[in-house]
Chain A
Amino acid sequence: MRYLGKKFITLIITLFMVSVAAFVAFQIIPGDVVTSILGTEATPEREEQLRAELGLDQPPAKRYVNWITDVLRGDLGVSYRYSKNMNEMMPVTELIGDKLPVTLCLAAVSLFLIILVSIPLGVLWARSRNRILDAALSVATQVSMAIPSFFLGILVTYLLGICLKLFTPGGYVSYRESFWGFLGYLLFPAVSVAIPKIAMTARFLRNSLLTEMGSDYVRTAYSKGCSDKRVMYGHVLRNAMMPVVTFLGMIIAEIVAGSIVVEQVFGLPGVGRLLISSISTRDFPVVEILILYITFVVIFVYFLVDVLYRVIDPRISGR
């Protein structure tokens, strides 16, 4: 428990440091927000007014403190770019709140697919004495790891969407309208996210399993009269999963932080797309929050991996 507490404090410190770094970075990057919103034609009075409205007339240190206290209170600020209507600014909370579920659901479905397929595949691969199967899996994983994700997205759209008509490309259904429809559409981008990761994880698991199969305790298990199956599931799998968990953690962090390309290809209104558009329009409040979000996700996932590791490997928790 004390360990968890320590980890949590580390998480807070990291977030704090990243928030400072993000804030400072956008002070240094050239380009004036006000001009980019109003255009070069605006009067100086209008510019001053907007500057004051956005709080940009204050010194940076003060602005950081204001910003971070607002963020801690749950007020993430307003977007410079998006507006609700003519008179109202768009709060970042609302903006992200709309996109986040899409990205998270995509990540969850992808992860589900990855685990569902890669673990049995890895085990099957490690156990296969069949040379043809071995070679086939080797080639298949190699190829699917090498394909760039945008191309995979296009392939999935073409094959599953246009040829097999399993879904309507571009026909995104909002989760507000129909959750099942939304999930049904999400399945296909999730497949494109998952395929290369499945290949990597299966390959990784297979190698890990084969290494473990050479361990002394495996020989011990055989000497007890265990069957191949029993050795695999009763002894080897758990030990072999340890490095795989770390690997999965890296993958989760990657996909939760935003599958930017895939969101673009499938027209999903997720965080990845928001990030790209905010950066190109210098919508700093949004970018800053997204940076914090991604940092948080990555650290949090690693934290979970750490906890999981302790569950799987008794040697760690002893320390």
Chain B
Amino acid sequence: MIKIENLSVSFGAAEAVKNVTLEIGAGEILGVVGESGSGKSVTALTLMGLVSETARITSGRISFDKETLLEAGKPYDKALYRKFLGCRMSMVFQEPMTSLNPTKRAGRQVEEMLRLHREAWRPQGSEASGGERKRKGRELPGALTERDKAEGEDIRRRVLEIFRAVGLKDEERVYESFPHQLSGGMRQRVMIAMAAVLRPDLMVCDEPTTALDVTVQNQIIELLREINEKQKNAMLFITHDLNLARRLCHRVAVMKDGRVVETGPTEELFKNPREEYTRKLMEAVPSRMRKYGGIADSFAREYMGERPGEQIRGRGVCGEMEGPGDTERAENTEGPGDAVLEVRDLSVYYQEGSNSLFARNRKKCAVEAATFAIRRGEVLGLVGESGCGKTSLSKAILGMNRDIRGSVVHHSPHPQMIFQDPYGSLNPAKTIGWLLQEPLRARGRREASFRMSEADRRAAAYDMLRKIGLPETYYARKPAQLSGGQRQRVSIGQALITEPGLVIADEPVSALDVTIQAQIMELMQKFREEMGLSYLFISHDINVIYQMSDRIMVMKDGRIIEQGDTETVFHSPKEAYTRLLLSES
């Protein structure tokens, strides 16, 4: 039904999409899988006519039911597209937080879809009156005719209906809500409602679940499947997550560097991937089936052009780790056993309310009575959905939030933190070398014994650069010249250059592609072995946690509901919520 033939799109000199040919049959879900920068989103946006104006279509054509939407060399036909957009093809975007207009009520935004395309749902014959009535309405604002009122009610009824259909339970309230009053999952449901309300022939979903929690992710996937089954519409499902594609799609196309490298029915493709790349991609996905074996490392060398650090092939299960640097370090600890961190009955509060002179500050509890310890050389995984208090807890441990009750005892000097966002957490104006030196400089300012000469600092930075697997030439580069994975390496280097005993990693791989994810996790494991580090490893992704951690804590609504050995928790979870998390991923 929809044909993309030989499509090439370029931005300036760079070709983002190269000779892509895709076909989507009626009622079919086609998955397009690839890493960021593989051209999958550009393909989708070009199909929708929404690609930015700087893009040039250099070859190919796109047709929809025999009608040609777009052809290389011909100007973009706005009027033609407007007939298709919304009513025959619609789109669900990745970012539910920003894809809805913040100043319009959710219901109104879905209504707009119906008002824009009256011809798509109103009975034949009344179409002509639509335009006429519109003109009248403009002359007499406020003077609603009976017909208008009836139509308004009809539209409202349809919107509430679709809200119910996409699983928004309290549909009246959602209708009147502004986007900021809804959760991420609810917003994405509103987006889907908007895209599905006119029963389009094609729904394009661009990473619709990436920004959502695992449990919500699954509900959204189920919802899309349900819509596909009920409305019989075709879907183009774009994702970087092979598991999701496998669960939802009938056929899958794998994209790399702007090309489609392999296409086929889902199961066939997963069982017998023909292309090397597909196989590597599948192997890089974190899974509970298998712990590390250096796949990511070799993958990096072959495909990503990134030079990995020293390799630790076949270093197998992390649970066996004892921590090589233990013995000499353990001597100067004062605490019981070999704990680097002890947290007892820690409750963390935050202030709610404005900074105004008169605002009564309400305290809210983000973390309730958390008790745990991290041993030397141990990785403690902390898993939970967004808003469960993971970040509040980690900030309190580092003393960044002092509004706490209970005790936090550090037995290691200078715990450090690695942050989630490798784009925002490095000062864009400084060079990598400067950034790596900064922790040393800061520490030297505080403690005279740590003061280092400029040359020593530079040597330390070069040394760290090598350890994090970046070439020395990167010393003088700025963060903007690095990829996401390379930046995260720099963040890790920054955290480790002062040789801390404990590192808190707050979702360090969540913003990265799967293959890069694997490399970063491997790098973190390497440092743990070399330096006898302990990690508090925070993630919402239970598979990532499984791979990294010796022990696991599960957090929900500010409470630690379960903690124990990784294997124990995974194989015999005590809590229903843990079971839910496990089953959903």
A positions within 8 Å CB-CB of B: 6, 9-10, 215-217, 219-228, 230, 234-235, 238-239, 312-315, 318-319
Q: Are B178 and A220 in contact (CB under 8 A)?
A: no
Partner of A224, one of B78, B113, B354, B356: B113
Which residues of chain A have C-beta atoms less than 8 A from B113's C-beta? 224
Interface string of B254-284 (1 = CB under 8 A from A): 0000000000000000000000000000000
Supposing A216-B98, A224-B194, A318-B181 touch, asked if A313 and B93 sit within 8 A by C-beta, the answer is no
Q: Are A222 and B85 in contact (CB under 8 A)?
A: yes
Partner of B99, one of A6, A217, A239, A314: A217
Which residues of chain A have C-beta atoms less than 8 A from B84's C-beta? 225
CA of A234 to CA of B48, assembled, Å:
21
Which of B101-109, B236-244, B484-492 has 4 or more CB atoms under 8 Å from chain A?
Answer: B101-109
Which residues of chain B have C-beta atoms less than 8 A from A234's C-beta? 112
Which residues of chain B have C-beta atoms less than 8 A from A217's C-beta? 98-102
Q: Are B50 and A223 in contact (CB under 8 A)?
A: yes
Instruction: Decide if B180 is an interface residue (CB 8 Å cutoff).
Output: yes
Complex: chain A residue closest to B353, CB-CB: A319
* Cross-chain pairs A/B with CB under 8 angstroms, 6 sampled: A10-B357, A216-B98, A224-B85, A225-B116, A235-B104, A319-B354
Supposing A219-B50, A234-B112, A315-B178 touch, asked if A239 and B102 sit within 8 A by C-beta, the answer is yes
Partner of B93, one of A219, A227, A312, A318: A219
Complex: chain A residue closest to B100, CB-CB: A217
CA of A215 to CA of B104, assembled, Å:
15
Instruction: Decide if B358 is an interface residue (CB 8 Å cutoff).
Output: yes
Query: Which 7 pairs between the two chains have the least Cβ-Cβ distance?
Result: A225-B86, A225-B85, A216-B98, A223-B91, A314-B178, A224-B86, A217-B101
CA of A220 to CA of B102, assembled, Å:
12
Which residues of chain A have C-beta atoms less than 8 A from B359's C-beta? 6
Of residues 72 through 114 on chain B, the ones whose CB sits less than 8 Å from some CB of chain A are: 78, 81-87, 90-91, 93, 95, 98-104, 112-113
Supposing A9-B358, A215-B98 touch, asked if A314 and B103 sit within 8 A by C-beta, the answer is yes
Q: Are A220 and B100 in contact (CB under 8 A)?
A: yes
Interface string of B98-140 (1 = CB under 8 A from A): 1111111000000011001100000000000000000000000
Supposing A10-B357, A224-B194, A318-B181 touch, asked if A216 and B99 sit within 8 A by C-beta, the answer is yes
CA of A167 to CA of B57, assembled, Å:
59
Partner of B103, one of A216, A225, A230, A239: A239
CA of A9 to CA of B358, assembled, Å:
9
CA of A318 to CA of B357, assembled, Å:
19
Q: Are B103 and A219 in contact (CB under 8 A)?
A: no
CB distance from B351 to the nearest CB of A (A): 13
CA of A57 to CA of B101, assembled, Å:
65
Which residues of chain A have C-beta atoms less than 8 A from B357's C-beta? 6, 10
CA of A243 to CA of B462, assembled, Å:
45
Which residues of chain A have C-beta atoms less than 8 A from B98's C-beta? 215-217
CB distance from A312 to the nearest CB of B (A): 7
Of residues 176 through 191 on chain B, the ones whose CB sits less than 8 Å from some CB of chain A are: 178, 180-181, 191
**Chief secondary structure at chain A's binding surface:** helix
Partner of A312, one of B90, B99, B100, B103: B103
Number of A-B contacts (CB under 8 A): 81
Which residues of chain A have C-beta atoms less than 8 A from B83's C-beta? 225
CA of A215 to CA of B101, assembled, Å:
9
CB distance from A127 to the nearest CB of B (A): 14
Supposing A219-B50, A219-B93, A235-B104 touch, asked if A227 and B99 sit within 8 A by C-beta, the answer is no
CB distance from A187 to the nearest CB of B (A): 30
CB distance from A315 to the nearest CB of B (A): 5
CA of A226 to CA of B359, assembled, Å:
42
Complex: chain B residue closest to A5, CB-CB: B358
CB distance from A189 to the nearest CB of B (A): 35
CA of A225 to CA of B98, assembled, Å:
18
Complex: chain A residue closest to B358, CB-CB: A6
CA of A238 to CA of B181, assembled, Å:
19
CA of A6 to CA of B91, assembled, Å:
45
Complex: chain A residue closest to B359, CB-CB: A6
CB distance from B487 to the nearest CB of A (A): 23
Which residues of chain B have C-beta atoms less than 8 A from A223's C-beta? 48, 50, 85-86, 90-91, 93
CA of A154 to CA of B95, assembled, Å:
54
CB distance from A124 to the nearest CB of B (A): 19
CB distance from A57 to the nearest CB of B (A): 39
Which residues of chain B have C-beta atoms less than 8 A from A312's C-beta? 103
Complex: chain B residue closest to A215, CB-CB: B98
Taking A216-B95, A225-B81 as known contacts, 18 extra A-B pairs with beta carbons closer than 8 A to each other, sorted by chain A number, are: A9-B358, A216-B99, A217-B99, A217-B101, A217-B102, A219-B93, A219-B99, A222-B85, A223-B85, A223-B91, A224-B116, A225-B117, A235-B104, A238-B103, A239-B101, A314-B102, A318-B181, A319-B354
CB distance from B118 to the nearest CB of A (A): 12
CB distance from A219 to the nearest CB of B (A): 6
CB distance from B93 to the nearest CB of A (A): 6
Supposing A6-B356, A235-B104 touch, asked if A222 and B50 sit within 8 A by C-beta, the answer is yes
Which residues of chain A have C-beta atoms less than 8 A from B181's C-beta? 318
CA of A216 to CA of B83, assembled, Å:
21
Q: Are B99 and A220 in contact (CB under 8 A)?
A: yes
CB distance from B193 to the nearest CB of A (A): 12
Most interface-central of B83, B181, B191, B358 (chain A CB within 10 A) = B358
Which residues of chain B have C-beta atoms less than 8 A from A10's C-beta? 356-358
Which residues of chain B have C-beta atoms less than 8 A from A219's C-beta? 50, 93, 99
CA of A217 to CA of B546, assembled, Å:
37
Q: Are B100 and A314 in contact (CB under 8 A)?
A: no
Of residues 202 through 252 on chain B, the ones whose CB sits less than 8 Å from some CB of chain A are: none
Which residues of chain A have C-beta atoms less than 8 A from B48's C-beta? 223
Which residues of chain B have C-beta atoms less than 8 A from A215's C-beta? 98
Which residues of chain A have C-beta atoms less than 8 A from B191's C-beta? 220
Most interface-central of A9, A227, A239, A314 (chain B CB within 10 A) = A314
Which residues of chain B have C-beta atoms less than 8 A from A221's C-beta? 101
Which residues of chain B have C-beta atoms less than 8 A from A227's C-beta? 82
Which residues of chain A have C-beta atoms less than 8 A from B99's C-beta? 216-217, 219-220
Q: Are A216 and B87 in contact (CB under 8 A)?
A: no
Supposing A225-B116, A225-B117, A234-B112 touch, asked if A313 and B103 sit within 8 A by C-beta, the answer is yes
Complex: chain A residue closest to B108, CB-CB: A234
Which residues of chain B have C-beta atoms less than 8 A from A235's C-beta? 101, 104
CA of A235 to CA of B179, assembled, Å:
14
CA of A217 to CA of B358, assembled, Å:
35
CB distance from A198 to the nearest CB of B (A): 25
Which residues of chain B have C-beta atoms less than 8 A from A319's C-beta? 354
Complex: chain A residue closest to B84, CB-CB: A225
Supposing A314-B178, A318-B180 touch, asked if A216 and B194 sit within 8 A by C-beta, the answer is no
CA of A227 to CA of B181, assembled, Å:
28
CA of A294 to CA of B409, assembled, Å:
56
CA of A315 to CA of B116, assembled, Å:
26
